[in-house]
Chain A
Amino acid sequence: MYAAIEAARQGAGSVLLLDRSLIGRGGATVMAQMTVAAAVGPGDDWRHHLADTLAAGRGLCDPELAALLCEVGAECILEMDRWKVGWARAGNGFASVQAPGHDRARCVYVDFLSTGPAVSKTLRAQVQRVGDAIRRVGEVLVTDLVVQQGRVTGAVALHVASGAALTIAAPATIIATGGLTRLYARNSASANMSGDGYALAMRAGATLLDMEFVQFFPIGHLAPRLIGMDPIMWDPFRYKLGGRLLNGAMQEFVERWGGDAENGTYSTTRDLATYAITKEVEAGRGSPNGGAWLSFTHVPAAELRAAFGPVIDRLAANGIDLTRDCIEVSPIAHYHMGGVRVDTAMRTDVPGLLAAGEAVGGANGANRLSGNAITEALAFGRLAGAEAARQAAEGAPGFDLAAARPALALLASEGPAQNTAALVARLQHIMSADVGPFRTAAGLARAATALAALRGEVGTTPPAAPGLAHDLARMDWLDLRQMLLVAESVVVAATARTESRGAHQREDFPEMSPNWERNLPLRLSAGVPELA
């Protein structure tokens, strides 16, 4: 949405904003309940934020992209404030918290657990204010990009509400489809984060990088079952109230796995916390459902209510009283550091194709710093929008329907009935079992074999016939086609990287190696992702 706003602001008169579900209501941003990192506080500077971002990335950040994230991101946060997003205030400035990995309090937020919805709502309002220059069309599932003489000239898509096939001509196309968390059974983002943007870009000839780096959020909600709450909700609780992470015997354990004692604060980085919880569970000291306990029982009721007011009532409706009850948490797929390789103008290797937001690879290296995801979405959106407007003004070759024919033929094809929902679940279990935060050569080989078998079963034609409204079975098939390519990319890169770094931990290669301080680019070769 920020990209569309910026493109229109830079003079693009005809911006088409597509979403596979409702505009600005799916994806990851709307789900983000936590905080946004930006150097907007007194005495802070985007260079300090950059230093922390580079350190978290364990030597793999693209320093130019990371610098843009921090510098342009801060400007975007201030613009969002002028657009009345409602950043919480303290005194004359923004309220902010110090998230793990930051050298100071730098993470702004909207109370109470409303950051993501407020950001999405503000951007939706600004998109509407732009008026006719942005045409919004929801329920459009892009299935392929159209490439003519090596240049992207548009896309082929499924109109979900009618089941009709669409063609779209565009002098510049921005992929802003987010990450790949749907590849995992337990994840913290929407069902529409299938990695489709990566697959679209790869099929169009673009390069992906850092695909092995999937960030697992250590304290995703595990039990008891909650409804109407985001599984990453405990992060802001920990920012404000500290809390204690305990094993099945109600003992603190982060120190045992290389962390520093937290002493009621929230100071352990995500990769280390994920490691500590997983190892504690493996050692037979997990909580009953296979995670860790998170306790706020030492925090007085009045303090809980002051920090999270209405959320305390929503928890009560779920039968949880934090002054009495601990909850269980465990790592959950949350974000993907890797993605499409771009330059500082968000251009991919393919003319006419740009990327923005989480779909971009490289800015966050091997591990993303807390709070950088929305900052990145805004900053890269702004940059991509400006560049797309520039490219549109230059003009582009006319759209040639012949180049769209294979993609249209796929949407028109009829295939045997399949339980594609069960096949998606199988892919998620393959990835969760062997391509989670901790990997081995044997496990990755097992995943590769299982994915190959799944690919065979999925076949080359979607089930049943086209033209049915809201056909989830066919949509799942079209998603599986993309998810398989993305899952294979993660497995190929994770197999190649024989070291442990950030979010990629190889149990058979536990050390970080200076020889591996480099990115792994992947390209499609005869339909298969290969190291470039």
Chain B
Amino acid sequence: MPTTTLHIRRGGPGEPPRHDVFELAFEPGESVLDALRRLRIGTDPTLAFRYACLNANACKECMMLLDGKVIYACTARLEARDMRLDPLPNKTLLRDLATVIAPPDERLE
């Protein structure tokens, strides 16, 4: 059965960068976000990433880097290969793949 190997950047600000490796069964048609949600349920509920609308590309929260390129996790298709996921490099890191993306005037100071 084909598999996808996700290399996911973990940790918070100030921690030495590391990528955890997760193998999961490849399901054709799934988005990267679907796979991340499946990983939380099946393997690691502490994995941090942002999303609200699940699959409609309406909330625009799930931006991250896939193999170095900015994507929406809800519209990028999962593929049966090694895929590397990193947080947005130009935003303040919260933890794992989650970054501070709220407009500055909507943050709690």
Contact = CB atoms under 8 A, between A and B. Distances in A.
B51 to A, nearest CB: 6
Given A22-B101, A31-B53, A138 B61 contact: no
B41 interface: yes
A476 B51 CA distance: 13
A262 interface: no
A136 B108 CA distance: 9
A116 B96 CA distance: 31
Given A31-B53, A161-B108, A468-B95, A26 B45 contact: no
Contacts of A425: 41
> Which has the most chain B C-beta neighbours within 10 Å: A116, A162, A225, A468?
A225
Main secondary structure of the interface of A (DSSP, over half): loop
A25 B41 contact: no
Given A21-B59, A227-B75, A469-B95, A30 B45 contact: no
A15 to B, nearest CB: 14
A136 B106 contact: yes
A230 interface: yes
Given A22-B59, A136-B106, A229-B56, A470 B95 contact: yes
A231 interface: yes
Nearest to A26: B52
B108 A140 contact: yes
A471 interface: yes
Nearest to B55: A227
Interface stretch (A4-12, A42-50, A52-60, A415-423): A415-423
A190 interface: yes
> Which has the most chain A C-beta neighbours within 10 Å: B49, B58, B74, B77?
B58
Interface residues of B, number: 42
A25 B57 CA distance: 10
A191 interface: yes
Given A117-B58, A227-B55, 12 more contacts: A21-B59, A22-B61, A27-B52, A137-B107, A190-B52, A190-B54, A227-B76, A421-B45, A468-B95, A469-B98, A472-B45, A473-B46
A458 B46 CA distance: 16
Interface in A88-139: 116-117, 136-139
B31 A191 contact: no
Interface string A182-199: 000000001110000000
B41 A228 contact: no
Interface residues on A, range: 35 or more
B48 interface: yes
A162 B31 CA distance: 28
A422 to B, nearest CB: 5
Contacts of B82: none
B94 interface: yes
A23 interface: yes
Given A21-B61, A227-B75, A471-B48, A191 B53 contact: yes
B80 interface: no
Interface string A17-34: 000011101110011010
Interface of B: 12, 28-31, 37, 40-42, 45-61, 72, 74-77, 94-96, 98, 100-102, 105-108
**10 closest Cβ pairs, A-B complex:** A225-B29, A26-B52, A228-B75, A230-B56, A421-B40, A470-B98, A421-B45, A469-B94, A228-B57, A470-B94
Interface of A: 21-23, 25-27, 30-31, 33, 116-117, 136-140, 159, 161-162, 166, 190-192, 224-231, 418-422, 424-425, 464, 468-473, 476
> Which has the most chain A C-beta neighbours within 10 Å: B47, B50, B56, B60?
B56
A230 B52 CA distance: 13
A225 B58 contact: no
Nearest to B98: A470
B57 A22 contact: no
Contact of B108 (A21, A22, A137, A473): A137
Contacts of B100: 161
5 contacts: A137-B108, A190-B53, A192-B52, A224-B29, A230-B56
Contacts of A21: 50, 52, 59, 61
A25 B107 CA distance: 15
Contact of A137 (B29, B49, B106): B106
A125 to B, nearest CB: 13
B77 A227 contact: yes
B102 A22 contact: yes
Given A30-B53, A421-B45, A471-B48, A25 B95 contact: no
A134 to B, nearest CB: 11
A480 to B, nearest CB: 12
B58 A116 contact: yes
B98 A191 contact: no
Nearest to B76: A227
